[in-house]
Amino acid sequence: MTQFWSDADRHLIRYGGPFTPEIIERAEGSFVYTSDGRRILDFTSGQMSAILGHCHPAIVETVRRQIGTLDHLFSGMLSRPVVDLARRLAASLPEPLEKVMLLSTGAESNEAAIRMAKLVTGRHEIVAFARSWHGMTHAAAAATYSAGHKGYGPSAPGNIAIPVPNPYRPDFITPEGELDWRRQLDFAFAMVDAQSTGSLAACIVEPILSSGGVIEPPLGYFAALAAKCRERGMLLIVDEAQTGLCRTGTWYAFERDGIVPDILTLSKTLGAGLPLAAIVTSAAIEQEAHEKGYLFYTTHVSDPLVAAVGNTVLDVLEAQKMDQRARDLGDFLNAGLRKLMDRHEVIGDVRGRGLMQGVELVADRNTKESDDVLGKKVTQRCLELGLHLNVVQLPAMGGTFRIAPPLTATREELELGLSILDQALTEVA
């Protein structure tokens, strides 16, 4: 073990926060297992991706079969798994979303979507939330405001941030003391218009801001945002990297708001932990992009191996009615978290939808002062007790736990996680 960490320190490039101080040997279902035999309950589904748990038997069987028949092709070649997955994704979505491109990562899908929006509109300005996370490639990183700007020089010109409608910390307030999101949205787009050079191309949003602190804008907000975009001839890109495919209790999180994006991006959950992503748009937008010479030729576009996995993911989600399961388990988990909130003053807020829940720790419930130091300590103690939690540790975002167990998790596993979190909060706080 000493040699392992010595080699890691010597040879690995550090790319974010510190590495988890465990050597993971294997994983199964809702658990990962360390080299010293410890079992750790995974409340983040890997990188918020493994919605069917680790090493799901159907996924394992598909990979074994597909790797032995058709794994990777020249990017201009097509295979049955790719066309099948495109057809099935289109069938799961409202009209006019029917044209699909399969890629590898969330950043790549957002890059492709932004590039398409710029080409189709002939404009270049991109609007995004001030706590957004859309990826670390060029255009995606320029539209990411929760981290990653300092020290890298100028981003592409034309990126504009708007405030996040956060009901827990309202900036515009109604007479009743609640978030006045309509007034905030009007203010936001007044600022957008003031900064724009007349070249607004698109607005890209997450239905629930994950790295931004598990913040869900109020019902009605996205419909009003879509109207703001239409008024300006902008396209609306919805990034469902973490919320798509049943995680929030519906197949797609945008369904709650009665909107249909111009371009939808999917990733993480689509491959259930394997590198698969997609953009989906209308035939009209795809046709215009094609006529203007849309170019997004990558090494792993339309790869058959992961496309076959994507089809298996859809098989399991459909057969086991995972949208309903996520709703039921999400209600159970939320109720358990609210019971913890009743017992622990350091929990300031519980929020989220389905099996995507957020728990924010505060130093004071009245001032809502965030306590990210406590968040780090609770995270560490949970790991020691056998629970992996992810706490948002980005600047000014406080100690917010992002809790996203697999959709295959059992109530007993959720109860175990709640029990460990309860113990950690008791011991640390």
| Alpha-carbon span 317 to 326, nearest angstrom | 10
**Catalytically annotated residue among 118, 125, 133, 372:** 133
8 A C-beta contact, residue 132 and residue 144:
yes
**Catalytically annotated residue among 125, 206, 240, 372:** 206
Q: Catalytic residue at 292?
A: no
| Alpha-carbon span 62 to 273, nearest angstrom | 14
Q: Catalytic residue at 216?
A: no
Q: Catalytic residue at 206?
A: yes
**Catalytically annotated residue among 131, 232, 381, 402:** 402
Neighbours of 12 (CB within 10 A): 9
Q: Catalytic residue at 268?
A: yes
Could you tell me where the beta strands, DSSP code E, fall in 313-365? 347-353, 356-364
Torsion, Cα of 124, 130, 134, 140 (10° steps)? 30
Q: Catalytic residue at 320?
A: no
Under 8 Å CB-to-CB from 344, ≥6 apart: which residues? Answer: 422, 425, 426, 429
**Catalytically annotated residue among 131, 247, 268, 351:** 268
Query: What residues pair up with 215 in beta bridges, in sequence order?
Result: 209
Q: Catalytic residue at 182?
A: no
**Catalytically annotated residue among 66, 242, 357, 393:** 242
| Alpha-carbon span 318 to 329, nearest angstrom | 17
**Which phi-psi region, left, alpha or beta, contains residue 386 (left: φ > 0; alpha: ψ -120 to 50)?**
left
**Catalytically annotated residue among 108, 111, 239, 360:** 239
| Alpha-carbon span 110 to 235, nearest angstrom | 13
For CA atoms 84, 355, 103, 229, the dihedral sign is positive
Give catalytic residues, as residue numbers. Answer: 133, 206, 239, 242, 268, 402
